[in-house]
Amino acid sequence: MKKNILILILLIQILNVNSQQWIPDVNKKYSFTSSWHNGYTILAVNDTLYIGGDFARVSDVNAFDIVRYYNGNWFPLKGGLYGNPNSFLFNNGQLYVAGWFQWADNKPGTGGLARWDGNNWWPIGANSDCGSCGRALEYYNGKLFAGGSMSAVGSIVAFGVAAFDGTNWINVGNLPSLVSLKRYNTDLLAGCPPDGFIRYEGGINWSWFPIILTIVLMHTG
């Protein structure tokens, strides 16, 4: 009897896999229809999907470089972005965007870094303008960390990485080659080629050793 139940479960799983297939988008419901049409940044938040890229229109909706998909429909994020988003982070009901864009909805102080509250675009703090700098975002120890090809955020000098403490941007190190940020348990890791992954130690200090190798050895040793 157990064997028969197991076979039935496997058969249902196989049928479910076989029932999934690609279908033509004949009505262009999911198509970028502008003269330039690339989507390359994506974030799922519960039943909402955010997509960013190089486009001015999705299906029949005007949406500049960023769009929201919910309940079968596309929605613009007001005036959108003038340039390309490279990284999304959703935290405490807010969407944070980093990338190579001059502004969000033509708002001052939103170049390269901006915050969407569900209705409007804002700078992150009084001024998050860093030109075309954003590559990575992560939230760690009560701060929003941003990394990329930056030399300053607002009036704060910051090479490669900076953090927002809820009031001000602060310098948290010198990582001009940073390409990624990620929390791992209690650590904040940064990908910095050719040095690999390094760990944040607080202040402006980072551990420059192969942290990923150490983690693998700890879990397998």
CA–CA separation, 179 vs 170, rounded Å? 19
Q: Sign of the C-alpha dihedral, residues 94, 189, 164, 151?
A: negative
Q: Average pLDDT over the chain, rounded to whole? A: 83
Q: Does residue 218 have a pLDDT over 70?
A: no
* Residue 2 in domain: no
* Residue 109 in domain: yes
Helix (H), strand (E) at residue 114: strand 113-116
* CATH code, domain with 114: 2.120.10.30
* Residue 139 in domain: yes
Global pTM reads 0.81
**What type of residue sits at position 61?**
V
Q: What is the pLDDT confidence band of residue 8, given thresholds at 50, 70 and 90?
A: very low
* Residue 220 in domain: no
* Residue 100 in domain: yes
Nearest to 178 by CA among 187, 162, 190, 194: 190
Q: What is the pLDDT of residue 22?
A: 58
Q: What is the pLDDT of residue 215?
A: 47
Segment 181-204, tens digit of pLDDT? 999 999 999 998 887 889 999 999
**What type of residue sits at position 131?**
G
* Residue 189 in domain: no
Number of domains the chain is built from: 1
Contact 50, 94 (CB under 8 A): no
Mean pLDDT for 145-156 is: 92
* Residue 12 in domain: no
Contact 55, 42 (CB under 8 A): no
Which tokens is 33 given? 């229809």
Segment 40-99, tens digit of pLDDT? 799 999 999 999 998 888 888 999 999 999 998 999 999 999 999 999 999 999 999 999
Segment 112-134, tens digit of pLDDT? 999 999 999 999 999 999 976 77
Helix (H), strand (E) at residue 5: helix 2-18
Q: What is the pLDDT confidence band of residue 32, given thresholds at 50, 70 and 90?
A: low
Contact 99, 66 (CB under 8 A): no
Mean pLDDT for 154-169 is: 94
Helix (H, G, I), strand (E, B) or coil at 88: strand
- Over pLDDT 90: what percentage of the chain? 62
Find the domain containing 118 and state its range: 32-175
* Residue 200 in domain: no
CA–CA separation, 48 vs 88, rounded Å? 13
Q: What is the pLDDT of residue 21?
A: 63
Q: What is the pLDDT confidence band of residue 17, given thresholds at 50, 70 and 90?
A: very low
